[in-house]
Amino acid sequence: MFLAGAECPFTCSFCDLWRYTLDGPTPAGALPIQLSRALQEIEPPLPTRLKLYNASNFFDRRAVPQQDLPRLAELSRPFPAITVESHASTIGPMTLEFRTLLIGRLEVAMGLETIHPIAVEQLNKRLELFRFDGAADFLALHRIDLRAFVLLGVPYVPAGEMVEWTVRAVEHAAARGAGRIAIIPVRGGNGELERLEALGDFTPPTLVQLETVLEHCLSCAAVVTADLWDVARLRGCEACRGQRVKRLELMNLTGRAAPFVTCAVCA
């Protein structure tokens, strides 16, 4: 469920989610109304997991009013598992309050993005590695599941090192207890990425690079998948694009390496 609320206070250079947010704080009661109406459109049988993504941080009181937590938890009761997304710095008492209100198991999705030392300082995410690690430890201590996001094509990471640093970030997230890790290729279109590309600080990732990273990460101690949202925008050979996308879909579903795609055009 995509819920409309307040904009995230972090202006990450790779993000475009601000286009789907409100100009001011989320009005009290707005999110429960949105969720209630959306749930009415779901036909049984219900899925086993409910994801509440608000294009911001679920545990930021400006984005999710604290008084709305009981009603949101009540609406979530039919689902065995509930996933919300939030910046590592917002993980704390409000997280525990929501977990206590839920019947289903809580999973928190956090963006790690990268562990590249230069890129981390340049993304405007304001997330030092120790903060992610601390939040991950907090969630593990309180028996809350962790899902992590890792980026492929992070600005300021040299193109030749893109695959290596993405794999290393996935391995770091798995080592910190992430049970699910999504590899998200950075997509242009927010203006800032185009500016960085013109300066030589951003190279759009390719379909083959996404394929390579996922294959390398399938042996991690976590469920690792490639985010195929807008996969058609990734640069790649048109002759074998369809086969490569199908291979990614198969590896996402099975968690195992699929037969390699050979192409006479891009070989």
- Structural tokens at position 142: 């309180």
DSSP 241: H
Contact (Cβ atoms closer than 8 angstroms) between residue 21 and residue 40: no
Residue 45, preceding bond cis, omega within 30 degrees? yes
Q: Which residues pair with 205 in a beta bridge?
A: none
Cα 148 versus chain centre, distance: 6
> String of b and e for 72-97 (b: at least 16 CB within 10 Å)?
bbebbeebebbbbbbbbbbbeebbee
pLDDT in tens, the chain (267 residues): 999 999 887 776 676 766 778 889 999 999 999 999 999 999 999 999 999 999 899 999 999 999 999 999 999 999 999 999 999 999 999 999 999 999 999 999 999 999 999 988 888 777 788 999 999 999 999 999 999 999 999 999 999 999 999 999 999 999 999 999 999 999 887 788 888 888 999 999 999 999 999 999 999 989 999 999 999 999 999 999 999 999 999 999 999 999 999 998 986
Within 8 A by CB and 6+ apart from 160, the residues are: none
Look at residue 13 in the predicted model and tell me its pLDDT: 65
Within 8 A by CB and 6+ apart from 234, the residues are: 185, 204, 205, 206, 207, 210
Contact (Cβ atoms closer than 8 angstroms) between residue 82 and residue 48: no
Contact (Cβ atoms closer than 8 angstroms) between residue 69 and residue 95: no
Look at residue 18 in the predicted model and tell me its pLDDT: 67
The structural domains of the chain, ordered by start, are 17-254 (3.20.20)
Q: What is the pTM of this model?
A: 0.93
CA–CA gap between residue 210 and residue 116 (Å, rounded): 18
